[in-house]
Amino acid sequence: MKKLHPIMFAGTGSNVGKSVIATAFCRIFRQDGFCPAPFKAQNMALNSFATPEGLEIGRAQAVQAEAAGIPCHTDMNPLLLKPQSDHTSQVVLNGRPQGISEALTFFCKERRNVLRKEVCAAYDRLSVQYNPIVLEGAGSISEVNLRDSDLANLPMALHAGADVILVGDIDRGGVFASLYGSMMLLCPEERRMIKGILINKFRGDLRLFESGIHMLENLCQVPVVGVVPYYKDIYIEEEDSVSLAVKSMRRELGKVNIAVVLLRHLSNFTDFSVLERDPRVHLFYTNNVDELQKADIILLPGTKSTLDDLHELRRNGVAKAIIQAHRQGKVVMGICGGYQMMGLEVTDPDHVEGDIERLPGLGLLPVATRMQGEKVTRQVRFRQEGREMESWYEGYEIHMGATRMIEGASADFLNVLEDGTPEGCFAGHTCLGTYIHGILDNPSFIDFLLEPFKERLAQEPETFDYRRFKEQQYDKLAAHVRLHVNMPLIYKILKGEI
C-alpha cells in the first residue's frame, strides 16, 4: 500500500475539536486498510494513561491509538505536562516523570532544544512502523510570541513533512476571523504547509454555508476540505474535565444515583465514563454537601494533588459530608488519590507534592499513605479477593505514594494482582478503595458495586459492555466525519498529488 504523507490537525485555538477529529481519522485510515498511529509531541492534561510497558502518556493519544486498533506507546505522546498549579507542571518525558518545572524554566532555550530533539526522535521511531501518522497540534497554530518555543505545531509538522489541516470551531463564533487571522499571522514558509481548512461543530443547514466556504477559500487560498456538523449522539472519551460540573445532579428514581466528588485537581475522570452510559446508573459530579446527600454511592476520584485536595475537602465541609453519608449507609469508594484520602492519614515528609507534610484522612479505611518520589505506572490484571471469577479484570495504576493497611485492622484487601500482590482495601460493601484506574471498565465489578441496590432498580438490563460500546462509537464518529469531509481530496493531498 502506498505510503501517505503524515497529516497534522492544527487549530485556531484550544478546544476546537482537534483531538476528536484526529481520533476520527485514525479510525478512517484503519477502515481504509492503512496502519495509522497518532502523535502529539506535547500535551498538557491531568487525564493520563499507562502504556503496556508501564509508562505514562496523555489519555487522548491512548484513545486515538485505540481507534487506530494498535497498542498505545509513549512515542505517540513523548512530552506530557501535568499541571500542578497556575505556574508549575510535572514534566513527563518518554513516559517517565522528570520533576516539577515552572513555565519560565521549562521554555528556556537550553531545555527547549533538548525537548525538541526528544520529540522529533519519538516521531521518527513511530513513522518507521506506521502509515500514515496522524499528528495533533496543541492550542493555537499562530501564537507568534511562542513561535521559538513551539514543539507541537508547525515546527513538528516541518520535521515530519506533514500536510497540515487547520481546524476552526464555528460553534464559538468568529470562525472567519480566527481562520483568516491564523493564516495571516504565519510566515510565508509556514503558510505553504497549510493544505486545507476543516470547519468543526457546525449547527444548522449546511447549504446556508456554501457561500461562506467559497469566501474562506478565496481569503485563505486553500480548500475547505470539510464542514463537520456538531453531534450529540456519539460518545468519545474527553481529555478535559471542563464540562463535568454541568452534568445533572437531580436524583432519578429507579436508578442508582452516583456522585463523583468534584476535586480541584481531579484527574483520570474517564474512570467514570462507563457509568455515564450504564442504564442502571445516574451519574453526577459535585462538591456541594447537600447534593452529596442525594447520592446512593459517593466516588472519590483520582487527583494530581492528594494533600491539597484533602485540605480543601476539610475546609469546605465536603469531608464531613462524606463521613456523615457513610454513617447513614451510603457506599463510599475511592480510586487512587481518593483511596489515599479515605485512610487514617496521608503524609509527605519529603515534600513530594508540596508544603503540607501531614493531614488526617477521612478515617473510613484502616490504611495510611506516605508520598514517595517514585511514580508507579503500570497496567495490571487482577481479581477481587474472595470472589470466584471466570477471567481477570484489567486496569492500570498511575500514582505517587504507597499505602499500607494498619496492623490488626478489621478489613480485607479488595483485589489480588496477577502476581499475587494484595491491593486496595475492603471494609464491607459500603466502604472500599483501590489504586486501579479503569476498575469500573470491568462490567462484573460494576455489578458488584451495584449489588446492594439490586432490588431498587426499575429493571435488570444486560451488563453494559463498555469495550464493545467504544468500538461502536469510533465507527460512528468515523462515519460522521467521512460523510462531511472530502476524503478523495484528503487522499490526493496525502499522496502529493495536490
Dihedral angle, C-alpha 45, 286, 455, 442, nearest 10 °: 10
Question: Which segments within 314-384 are labelled E, that is strand?
Answer: 331-335, 345-347, 358-360, 367-384
**Residue with more model confidence, 129 or 409:** 129
Give ∠ CA 79-85-86 in degrees, rounded to 5: 95
Partner residues linked to 200 by β-bridges: 169, 228
pLDDT number for residue 185: 96
pLDDT number for residue 405: 94
d(CA 24, CA 136): 12
pLDDT exceeds 60 at position 166: yes
Contacts of 223 (CB under 8 A, 6+ apart): 195, 196, 197, 217, 486, 489
The structural domains of the chain, with segments of one domain joined by +, span 7-235+472-494, 254-457
pLDDT number for residue 84: 77
User: What is the three-class DSSP state of 220?
Assistant: helix
Model confidence at 281, pLDDT cuts 50, 70, 90, reads very high
To the nearest 10 degrees (0 to 180), the angle between helices 306-316 and 318-327 is 80
C-alpha cell recorded at residue 333: 469508594
H or E segment to which residue 105 belongs? helix 103-106
pLDDT number for residue 45: 86
pLDDT exceeds 70 at position 241: no
Render pLDDT for 347-402 as a digit per residue (tens, 0 to 9).
Answer: 999 999 989 999 999 999 999 999 998 899 999 999 998 887 778 999 999 999 99
pLDDT number for residue 219: 95
pLDDT number for residue 120: 97
CB 122 within 8 A of CB 74: yes
pLDDT number for residue 420: 94
DSSP letters of 116-167?
HHHHHHHHHHHHHH-BSEEEE--S-TT-GGGGGG--SSHHHHHHHTPEEEEE
C-alpha cell recorded at residue 330: 451510603
* Lowest-pLDDT choice from 19-28, 169-178, 275-284, 386-395: 386-395
Model confidence at 102, pLDDT cuts 50, 70, 90, reads confident
pLDDT number for residue 104: 63
CB 296 within 8 A of CB 328: no
pLDDT number for residue 32: 97
The answer to whether 7-235+472-494 and 254-457 have equal CATH topology is yes
pLDDT exceeds 80 at position 209: yes
C-alpha cell recorded at residue 180: 483568516
Q: What percent of the chain is helix, strand and coil (3-state, nearest 5)?
A: 35, 30, 35
Averaged pLDDT, 459-477: 84
pLDDT number for residue 245: 52
H or E segment to which residue 229 belongs? strand 224-229
d(CA 57, CA 76): 8
pLDDT number for residue 59: 93
Model confidence at 110, pLDDT cuts 50, 70, 90, reads confident
pLDDT number for residue 459: 61
Report in angstroms the alpha-carbon separations of 483 from 132, 198, 293, 478: 21, 13, 46, 8
pLDDT number for residue 389: 79
**Residue with more model confidence, 49 or 391:** 49
HEC string for 285-308: EECCHHHHCCCCEEEECEECCHHH
pLDDT number for residue 318: 96
pLDDT number for residue 9: 98
C-alpha cell recorded at residue 290: 447537600
The CATH number of 254-457 is 3.40.50.880
pLDDT exceeds 90 at position 194: yes
Residue 2 has a CB neighbour count (10 Å cut-off) of 9
Render pLDDT for 245-260 as a digit per residue (tens, 0 to 9).
Answer: 545 555 566 789 999 9
AA letter at 272: F
Q: What is the DSSP letter of 414?
A: S
pLDDT number for residue 252: 66
- Residue with cell string 502523535: 39
AA letter at 478: A
pLDDT number for residue 315: 95
Give catalytic residues, as residue numbers. 336, 437
Averaged pLDDT, 478-489: 97
pLDDT number for residue 466: 86
The CATH number of 7-235+472-494 is 3.40.50.300
**Residue with more model confidence, 463 or 488:** 488
pLDDT exceeds 60 at position 242: no
pLDDT exceeds 90 at position 243: no
pLDDT exceeds 90 at position 6: yes
pLDDT exceeds 80 at position 344: yes
pLDDT number for residue 232: 87
pLDDT number for residue 47: 86
**Percentage of the chain exceeding pLDDT 70:** 94
**Percentage of the chain exceeding pLDDT 90:** 76
Residue (of 413, 449, 445) closest to 430 by Cα position: 449
Whether a cis peptide bond, with omega within 30° of 0, leads into 488 is no
AA letter at 382: F
pLDDT exceeds 90 at position 463: no
**Residue with more model confidence, 146 or 3:** 3
